Amino acid sequence: MLFKLKELSDLYADACVRDETGRLMFLSLYGRDTAIQQLLAAFTLKVTEGGLDAFHLQDLMGQAHPVHVGDADRLEKFTGKLPRDNLFGNLVHLWLYDPALIRPNRSNRVAWVLVDGVDDPSNRTEAIWSHVWGLYKLLSPVPLLDTWKQAVLSRTGDEVVTMMGETSYPLLGRIAGARVRLPDHFPEIVSGMVKAGDLALEQFALAA
């Protein structure tokens, strides 16, 4: 499905990720080069000067989904041109993304998972969770054993993992995603599970 950008003509998105506040995190957009450049320029201008601090992506049913740009300077971009002999003529493909999506923030213990091209909602969830444990281990200030995976995810998943498709600003297009944020008290949670016998210390001793 393609979403039409209402504020400017001849621009269409096939995927968009927003955070819980509706702020743009990722956008995959197609259009003529002049239209793409016009959009990028609009992000740098004040609204009083004809700029855009928000836009809407309209689906096939006519529903408009708001997207807030926020600080456009934080967004990185990558462009590519489609072959000239494609069905739609000379088009540019633009990717805009917040670098937080690909650079886990270990100091604040935050990271993102994005999965592209998954249609079935159940498969989307499965694909996301297949990546979540690796981020737990990356962000955790205490070592985690793979044998602890199921117990830790069951105990903390609801608090740590935010499925972006279930927020007030769900993902648009064939893309799924989640944010992983370990709380400051995560080490205490792990310690408590060890004391309760939910995590076996002998497994840690063998791994060490």
pLDDT per residue over 94-148, tens digit each?
999 999 999 999 999 999 999 986 666 667 788 899 999 999 999 999 999 999 9
Q: What's the average model confidence in pLDDT over 4-29?
A: 95
What per-residue confidence (pLDDT) applies to 207? Answer: 47
pLDDT band at 50 (very low <50, low <70, confident <90, very high): confident
Residue whose C-alpha is closest to residue 13's, from 52, 67, 49, 81: 67
pLDDT at 39 over 90: yes
> Over 50: is that where the pLDDT of 14 sits?
yes
- Whether the per-residue pLDDT at 197 is higher than 80: the answer is yes
pLDDT in tens, 53-89: 999 999 999 999 999 998 999 999 999 886 666 555 6
| Dist. CA 87–CA 61, nearest whole Å | 24
Helix/strand/coil for 164: helix
Q: Say which residues have a Cβ less than 8 Å from residue 84's Cβ, sequence separation at least 6.
A: 90
**pLDDT value at position 191?**
96
Instruction: Report the predicted TM-score, pTM, of the whole model to 2 decimal places.
Output: 0.86
Average pLDDT over residues 20-32: 95
**Domain limits of the chain?**
3-99, 110-207
Task: Give the C-alpha separation, 133 to 149, whole Å.
Answer: 7
Phi/psi at 9 (nearest 5 deg)? Answer: -80, 155
Three-state SS for 102? coil
